[in-house]
C-alpha cells in the first residue's frame, strides 16, 4: 500500500497544483529524480521537467525541501572540454514550453541532507507563491 501511495502521490500533488487556481499557474512536473546524498560532501542532484501551460512566463525563484538544508538552482556547461557549474538566480519557463533539468545541464543542487532520505519532497516557488510540490523516491545508484 505504501508503495502504491508513493507512486500515486507525486502525480496527485502535481494534479492538485495544476488545478488549485488562485495565483498558481497551471504547471506540470514530470520525470522527477533525486539522487541519494553522496557520502563525503553529502551532495545530491535533482532532475525534472517543468511544463508551463499558462499564458504567462513561469519564473521559479527558489526550491525548498524538508530533507535538505539548502537547495540551489544550478547549470552545468561543458565548453572546450572544461565543465563549469554556476548558480542560477531563477529558472524561466516560457508560456506553453517545457524546461528540462537534466544531467550535464540545468539541475537542482541539494545540500546538507537532514538524514539519508528514502523519498524527497521538492517545493518550487515563484517569489512567495508555492507553484508545485512533488514527492519522489530517491533513486539508488550506480
Partner 1 sequence: MNRLIAIIVLVVGIAAGLLLAVGRGGPDEPAAEVPRAATVLPEPVPLPEFSLVDQRGETRTRAFFTGAWHLLFFGFTNCPDVCPTTLATLSTVTKTLRDQGATDVPGIVLVSVDPERDTPTRLAEYIAYFGADNAALTGNETAVRELTEPLGIYFSKVPLGDDDYTVDHSSVVLLVNPAGEFAALFSGPLEVSDLVHDLPLLTGAS
Quote the cell numbers at residue 69. 538544508
Among 9, 28, 30, 43, binds partner 1 (CB under 8 A): 43
Residue 107 in contact with partner 1, rule: CB under 8 A: yes
Question: What burial letters (b/e) apply to 102-123, b meaning 16+ CB within 10 Å?
Answer: eeeebbbbbeebeeebeebbbb
Which residue bears the cell 572540454?
A: 81
CA angle 18, 19, 20 (to 5 degrees): 100
Residue 6 in contact with partner 1, rule: CB under 8 A: no
Helix, strand, coil percentages for the chain (3-state, nearest 5): 15, 55, 35
Residue 44 in contact with partner 1, rule: CB under 8 A: yes
Instruction: Enumerate residues 58-77 that contact partner 1 by CB under 8 A.
Output: 74, 76
Residue 131 CB neighbour total at 10 angstroms: 25
Q: How far is the CB of 56 from partner 1 (least distance, A)?
A: 29
Among 18, 24, 32, 45, binds partner 1 (CB under 8 A): 45
Q: How far is the CB of 97 from partner 1 (least distance, A)?
A: 22
Q: Count the site residues for partner 1 by CB under 8 A.
A: 26
Residue 85 in contact with partner 1, rule: CB under 8 A: yes
Residue 114 in contact with partner 1, rule: CB under 8 A: no
Amino acid at each position: 500500500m505504501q508503495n502504491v501511495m508513493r507512486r500515486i502521490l507525486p502525480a496527485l500533488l502535481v494534479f492538485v497544483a495544476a488545478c488549485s487556481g488562485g495565483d498558481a499557474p497551471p504547471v506540470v512536473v514530470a520525470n522527477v529524480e533525486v539522487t541519494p546524498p553522496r557520502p563525503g560532501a553529502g551532495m545530491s542532484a535533482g532532475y525534472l521537467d517543468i511544463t508551463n501551460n499558462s499564458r504567462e512566463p513561469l519564473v521559479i525563484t527558489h526550491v525548498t525541501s524538508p530533507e535538505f538544508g539548502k537547495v540551489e538552482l544550478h547549470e552545468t556547461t561543458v565548453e572546450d572540454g572544461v565543465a563549469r557549474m554556476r548558480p542560477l538566480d531563477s529558472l524561466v519557463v516560457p508560456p506553453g514550453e517545457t524546461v528540462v533539468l537534466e544531467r550535464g545541464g540545468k539541475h537542482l543542487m541539494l545540500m546538507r541532507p537532514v538524514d539519508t532520505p528514502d523519498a524527497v519532497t521538492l517545493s518550487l516557488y515563484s517569489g512567495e507563491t508555492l507553484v508545485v510540490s512533488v514527492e519522489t523516491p530517491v533513486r539508488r545508484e550506480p
